[in-house]
Amino acid sequence: MKINFKKLFIEETNNTMLQFFRYIFVGGTAFVADFFVFFIFDHILKFELALSVAISFLTGIYVNYILSKWIVFKKEYSSKLYEITIFIIIGVIGLGLTELLMHLFTSNLNIHSLISKVIVSAIVLIWNFTARKIILYKK
């Protein structure tokens, strides 16, 4: 079976399932960057949990934006400022969810922070994709 890499990852598509598949790839890559930065700041540098989460999340959102524009959502805006602003607003809401859920899982439910980070990242990935698809990159 031959996989058409170009169709799977490069060609423009409005197919939501294909976009979500691509977004999982993008989200996974952003998660690796996010998780690595989180590990450095939380476990090596011993920053406060909330600050470690915020710094790592912002790293992840930057990677996510770059890859999302290249692979998932190819819609172009005449105003990059508008696009980036909405992308960031959705990301900030995702950051708020991340902070809230990380606190809930680690402090209230006593789940290890690294396990919490994986669970929370999956939840926020769904929020980010849905919000960006419906609000920012709708047809």
Q: Does the reported pTM lie above 0.85?
A: no
E strand or H helix that includes residue 130:
helix 113-131
- Residue 105 pLDDT: 96
3-class SS of residue 36 = helix
Does the residue 4 lie in any domain? no
Does the residue 58 lie in any domain? yes
Q: What is the mean pLDDT of the chain?
A: 88
Does the residue 6 lie in any domain? no
pLDDT in tens, 87-115: 889 988 988 998 899 999 999 999 998 89
Backbone angles phi, psi at 75, to 5 degrees: -65, 135
DSSP type of residue 111: -
Q: Tell me if 32 sits within 8 A of 77, measured CB to CB.
A: no
The domain of 42 spans 14-136
Does the residue 37 lie in any domain? yes
Does the residue 119 lie in any domain? yes
Average pLDDT value for residue range 21-40:
91
* Residue 34 CA: distances (Å) to CA of 59, 76, 95: 6, 26, 12
Number of domains in the chain: 1
